[in-house]
Amino acid sequence: MVKKSTILGQGMTEYIIIVALIAVSAIGVYSFFGKTMRNQVAGLAAELSGQDSGAQIGAAKSSAGKATQVANKDYNLGNYNEGANGASGGTGSGGGSGVD
């Protein structure tokens, strides 16, 4: 006979695994499109405040173009870090500081 607490523990473990997979996916998407999203939000904020947002829109287009170039390349476990560095514009070992 299986105890009820064992079943509840299994359900919680499955839930944690699903949440972790979603978090990893979100981090991956943000690493490719984060700069584009930040530039678009900056452009929206500038327009709402009555300023010209041409520079932010241009930066968003540039970032989106770079993300497209990186996304079109084939990466595997041997060279995946190159894709992460290419998306953020860095050339380091992948340990980034969180600042672009």
Q: Mean pLDDT over all residues of the chain?
A: 74
The CA-atom distances, in angstroms, between 10 and each of 14, 24, 38, 74 are 6, 21, 39, 37
The pLDDT value recorded for residue 95 is 41
Nearest to 61 by CA among 83, 44, 40: 40
Query: What is the structure's pLDDT at 2?
Result: 60
- Residue 6 has a pLDDT of 61
Q: What is the pLDDT of residue 5?
A: 59
Taking only the tens place, the pLDDT of each residue in 30-70 is: 777 778 888 888 888 888 888 888 888 888 888 888 877 77
pLDDT value of residue 99: 43
Note the pTM of the prediction, 2 decimals. 0.44
